[in-house]
């Protein structure tokens, strides 16, 4: 083991606040003994702060219309080849009811940025879903502060808005017409409004460095997030980045494990993207710091069209299939399914 890696790992094990250099050292863990030691520490911190419960958050991808042009995403407005769909409000609520019946404590409403769903419309959908006794997470992109407030008032518990990359130049290049400052302003509003806030970044974007990834984790620590989605870049042929290589799975595992050390109390999903790059991807992520899975609840006939990247898993399955598949996966790892909403892991403030 290189001395700088060992020193940073030791500081992490002692619970010290990691510097940018420490984080870079951990992200650079070499294959073999260094990676093994990093994963072992991350798994023990996960066990201590999150226990053995794996929370399932059922995701309803209710619209693939999007007004944005993110250079990596197959839903971008410019992708004319995509068959677009919108679920009607009653179908969204029906899908959520199916999720509640399957035992999911959280329903995630995700879509492209689609203003067809007005603030009041989404508020009404949230109110209906809250009657099912589940937590509601929204993941619908950048909207006005008033809309975020209206949805919080309607009962939404959490909001997931990934910062995508902490490198402002890279952000500007990948998001024509969007601004990094605006993204952070939305995250600030969500915090002020009392949401449990999720953010996160893509790993392996063209031109991204280990220092950029360290800055991502430092930003997540500054934002004091309750959840962080950390997934590999997967190229989509109908996008400007279609010819670029996918993000590395090994690097993704190192980022997830290091995140568990930098933001120990955040929920960290084993993402669908790692499951797409490898059949054992989600299992390995769960053994390297992750504690959440986000099964698909979208009605099967729409799944293939929510193509943010190609070869996404579970497009031919139904909600019940994913539920059973994941129960088996979690059991095989010696873990158990989470009960209840699986709210924040952060310790309660001392009175
Ligand atoms: N439109 C909303 C937004 O962007 O916040 C929510 C839905 S968007 C499809 C959810 C996430 O998909 C984004 O935050 C982005 O990180 C991820 N994503 C999109 N295209 C991707 C790709 N090609 N590879 C990996 N992740 C991707
Ligand atoms: Fe739209 Fe979100 Fe995809 Fe960007 S990442 S194009 S906002 S769906
Ligand atoms: Fe969908 Fe395994 S999670 S089939």
**pLDDT, tens only, 118-169:** 999 999 999 999 999 999 999 999 999 999 999 999 999 999 999 999 999 9
In a domain, 345, yes or no: no
Q: Is residue 83 part of a domain?
A: yes
- CA 113, 117, 123, 129 dihedral sign is negative
In a domain, 74, yes or no: yes
Question: Can you give the residue range of the structural domain that contains 149?
Answer: 3-337
Q: How far apart are CA 328 and CA 319, in angstroms?
A: 15
- 9 Cα distance to chain centroid: 25
165 occurs within a structural domain: yes
Residue 245, domain CATH:
3.20.20.70
Q: Is residue 324 part of a domain?
A: yes
Which residues, 6 or more positions from 58, have their beta carbon under 8 angstroms from its beta carbon? 96, 99, 102, 104, 106, 107, 108, 294, 295, 296, 297, 319
pLDDT value of position 349: 73
Confidence of residue 350 (pLDDT cuts 50, 70, 90): confident
Q: Summarize pLDDT for 209-254 with one digit per residue, the tens.
A: 999 999 999 999 999 999 999 999 999 999 999 999 999 999 999 9
Pocket mutation for ligand 3, best pick of 326, 332, 337 (most atoms within 8 Å of C-beta): 326
* 186 belongs to an annotated ligand binding site: no
In a domain, 113, yes or no: yes
Ligand 2 and 70: CB distance under 6 A = yes
Residue 346 domain flag: no
Q: Show Cβ contacts of residue 351 under 8 Å, excluding neighbours closer than 6 positions.
A: none
Q: CA–CA separation, 351 vs 178, rounded Å? A: 42
In the reported structure, the alpha carbon of residue 121 is separated from the centroid of ligand 2 by a whole-number distance in angstroms of 20
| Number of domains making up the chain | 1
ipTM reported for the complex surpasses 0.95: yes
73 labelled ligand-binding: yes
* Nearest CA, atom 2, ligand 1: 141
Residue 349 belongs to some domain of the structure: no
The minimum-distance atom of ligand 2 relative to the CA of 76 is 6
Closest by Cα among 205, 215, 153 to 175:
205
Distance CA 242, CA 239 (A): 5
State if residue 277 touches ligand 1 by the CB under 6 angstroms criterion: no
Locate tokens 């999911």: which residue?
104
What are 78-114's pLDDT values in tens digits?
999 999 999 999 999 999 999 999 999 999 999 999 9
């Amino acid at each position: 083991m290189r001395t700088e890696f060992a020193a940073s790992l030791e500081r992490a094990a002692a619970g010290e606040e990691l510097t940018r250099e420490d984080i870079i050292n951990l992200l650079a863990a070499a294959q073999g003994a260094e990676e093994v030691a990093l994963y072992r520490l991350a798994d023990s911190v996960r066990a201590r702060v999150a226990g053995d419960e794996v929370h399932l958050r059922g995701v309803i991808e209710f619209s693939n219309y999007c007004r944005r042009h993110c250079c990596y995403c197959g839903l971008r407005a410019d992708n004319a080849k995509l068959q677009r769909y919108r679920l009607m409000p009653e179908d969204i609520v029906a899908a959520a009811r199916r999720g509640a019946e399957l035992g999911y404590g959280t329903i995630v409403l995700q879509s492209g940025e689609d203003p067809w769903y007005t603030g009041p419309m989404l508020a009404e959908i949230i109110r209906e879903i809250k009657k099912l006794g589940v937590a509601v997470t929204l993941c619908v992109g950048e909207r006005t502060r008033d809309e975020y407030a209206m949805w919080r008032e309607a009962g939404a518990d959490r909001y997931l808005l990934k910062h995508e990359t902490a490198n402002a130049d890279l952000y500007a290049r990948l998001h024509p017409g969007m601004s990094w400052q605006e993204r952070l302003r939305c995250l600030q509003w969500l915090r002020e409004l009392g949401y449990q806030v999720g953010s996160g970044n893509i790993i392996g974007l063209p031109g991204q460095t280990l220092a950029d990834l360290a800055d991502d984790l430092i930003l997540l620590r500054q934002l004091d997030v309750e959840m962080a989605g950390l997934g590999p870049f997967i190229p989509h042929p109908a996008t400007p980045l279609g010819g670029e290589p996918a993000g590395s799975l090994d690097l993704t595992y190192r980022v997830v494990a290091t995140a568990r050390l930098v933001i120990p109390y955040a929920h960290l999903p084993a993402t669908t993207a790692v499951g797409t790059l490898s059949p054992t991807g989600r299992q390995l992520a769960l053994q390297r710091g992750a504690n959440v899975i986000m099964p698909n609840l979208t009605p099967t006939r729409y799944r293939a069209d929510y193509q943010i990247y190609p070869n996404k898993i579970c497009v031919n399955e139904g909600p019940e299939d994913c539920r059973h598949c994941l129960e088996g996966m979690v059991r095989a790892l010696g873990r158990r399914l989470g009960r209840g909403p699986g709210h924040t892991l952060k310790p309660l403030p001392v009175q």
